[in-house]
Structure 1
Amino acid sequence: MKIPFMDLRSLHEGISEELRDVFDRILDKSTFVLGPEVQTFEQEFAAYVGTRYCVALNTGTAAIHLALAALGIGPGDEVITVAHTFIATAEAITAVGATPVFIDIDPISFTMDPTLLEAAITSRTRAIIPVDLYGQVADMDPILEIADHHGISVVEDACQAHGAEYKGRKAGSFGIAGCFSFYPGKNLGACGEGGAVTTDDAELAQRIRMWRDHGSSKRYEHVFPGLNMRMEGIQGGILSVKLKYLDLWNDQRRSAAAAFDSALAMANIETPTQMNNRHHVYHLYVVQSDNRDALRKHLADADIETGLHYPTPLHLQQAYRFLGYREGDLPMTERIKDRILSLPMHPHLKAESIERIAFELQESCYVS
């Protein structure tokens, strides 16, 4: 039997009636864009994250983009981030006309290495975007301390970390803004696209609301040329339903990760590490092996789906060749790109599936 990488069908089966109620309400009221369902979700998600405000948007990419735009970051400015992330992190930087500056990652957590920040800061640095990767928050205290010392804004890319914690605080509550994606496969996913910015800054929140709606706070009155990045009413309602289950689903992911840890303890494979003072929610369960490609092929032959997150780091992508980075510039990022393998991970992953995946991995290690 095939083991899928993710299983949204099982996720939705238990809450299908609640989801259908959302569709019925939206159809009845015709509140298809923004509206009361989105407003309710904004309030609920802000309370969940622990911030004063949440501004709902159409994608996670838009969240990072508009956070930077609302901070006034643009041409001539630099934004420091990592190359081991999805391209949306850097796309948002270039979308506002700024320049991404990539630094290397910590070898254990794969998140931004704070010890490399000082050397990357210049007179043009306007923001730092740490990425909460695979469901684990970056090492925020030293990042925030360095940023504060230099008067630089921190925009947290929490697109993979719904419900994750760092020293008891939720992802998305650090820095000036937290940015989330609600792509369907995320720990908190819409039935379509979605995103949000969380913040304690009232002025920034209002500025982002205007940016998402053509630079307007009043119909047909436009203060500046903005964009159309509004959340649909249906997605707001769906996310409110799913938010009630997020902690349960995260606990189920953590249980699955613990089962993987135990089952793979004797295999010649490096399993993920939950760092001290962090609560990992395992958006992805990523292992490492020097024989990654052989492992992946063996699993595929056994009808087990896997993923690569991410096979080519951003500083080596053609899209960012103009920045002038070369192979060898980010040695840790480049080392892991050929070693990492994402195993199936979702709240309804069964114990027998975990056992079978572990067996096949051990078999592959023995054969290789």
Structure 2
Amino acid sequence: MTGRNVTEVSKRIENATNGLRMRRLRQADWSRRLVRENHLRPEDLIWPIFVKDGNEAEPVASMPGVSRQSIAGCVDAAKHAADLGIPVIALFPYTDPALRDETGSQALNPDNLVCRTARAIKKAVPEIGIMCDAALDPYTSHGHDGVMDGERILNDESVELLMQQSVIQAEAGADIIGPSDMMDGRVACIRSALDDAGLRDTLIMAYSAKYASAFYGPFRDAVGSNAMLKGDKRTYQMDFGNVDEAIREAEQDVAEGADMIMVKPGLAYLDVLSRITQTLNVPTFAYQTSGEYAMIMAASQNGWIDGDKAIVEVLTAYKRAGASGILSYFAPKIAAELKAV
């Protein structure tokens, strides 16, 4: 192209844009950082950790780089999280199949794996926040989040057990209870049970919009419920075609006493996350599920994507959609990178 033609193009651009060149703010790293609208920080992250009995870590085959940790390993992870500025870790137990039964009775054992882990972490790292799920699926022999009558999940009977489980976990050191079961009315009942037990300062982060999703498979491997699961969870987890229903669920949970709410999965439901954060003025979190983690890791290990860049891009997308924070298995990796900047 001749200089004359370039000059003519430049004049046309100036006339069309009134002299505004959007690329000026993108030309250098410092200018891009200066005007960035959404920022990812270690404080935005919650680190989900799997715990098992025994002394040795055990890799989760479907989640490369993630292992089930011993209690001592979880204590070390909590210390690492605190050093990185990650404010909360979320504990998920791998329960010995021999301890599982139809009603998930091990969930009500004050000396179960999660409770012992929470106590050990609070003793060693009192400044770290601990989140525990109110859910029966890590403890039931059928892999569902509630008790069953034949093929039917019983709502109210399940909620009664979740109330007891929540109190036991909070007494062991859980700062946040995360009802992940999607039973009706469970937030109100858990709030009441915690208050009655003198645990009024215990927070509730409700899994308000938890969808029946294909992205949970590796998590179920990690907690040992995949092989147990009979049927699916569509009678209580949400239909992936619905958005308005998610708003109603979130509003209901807030009305019942939830301090924070959550959308799960995250990446395939950014529209839901955005709608909820625009509708409700409450802290709203997203869970980057095990399936999302596994996809990024698999593509990265095969050289199909730049995994490091993809991780930051996706986590920033959650923030862009309005998330107050993100539960992510990448939390320690990203927090370390952010701290090093």
Which bracket does the TM-score occupy, shorter chain normalised?
Answer: under 0.3
Higher RCO, Cα 8 Å, sep 6+: 1
Q: Answer 1 or 2: which has greater helix percent.
A: 2
Larger Rg: 2
